[in-house]
Structure 1
Amino acid sequence: MAITDKMWEALTTVIKMNDKVERLAEVVKSQQGKIETLTERVIRLETALEIALSRPVMTRIGATQLDERKD
């Protein structure tokens, strides 16, 4: 009976481990989706920042000076 008990215990342990691995795989898949979404958002922010930094900045003083030069 001891061998049967040990085999049964080993089998139940494997089944429990399989369940945990499957649940973990679902969590990892969910986290991967969130990471991909965040990566896309960061790329969009970087693009917006690069566009904003590549444009010349016109301050009020600069704009006033340009207007004065036209006269």
Structure 2
Amino acid sequence: MDSFYECIIAGGPQHGLVFKRPLDARHATPLAIVTDDGQLCTPAARKFGSRVVLLHPQATGEQFLTILAA
């Protein structure tokens, strides 16, 4: 099992940003981050086990589908 999540942001000022976050089995809280513009990005999809797509509130459908296809 992986010891980290690979997060990809869809939409917003950090669209396409990929970063890793450590996996903490003690907390079942979903991943979420605050972007540079102060908006909360929440999980929208999981790709290939440890990859998570975080959706910016202002993301377009096209941006989301582009990240899913990548």
- Specify if TM > 0.5: no
- TM-score normalised by length of structure 1: 0.16
The answer to which structure, 1 or 2, has the higher relative contact order (CA under 8 A, 6+ apart) is 2
Which of the two has greater helix per residue?
1
Structure number with greater Rg is 1
- TM-score normalised by length of structure 2: 0.16
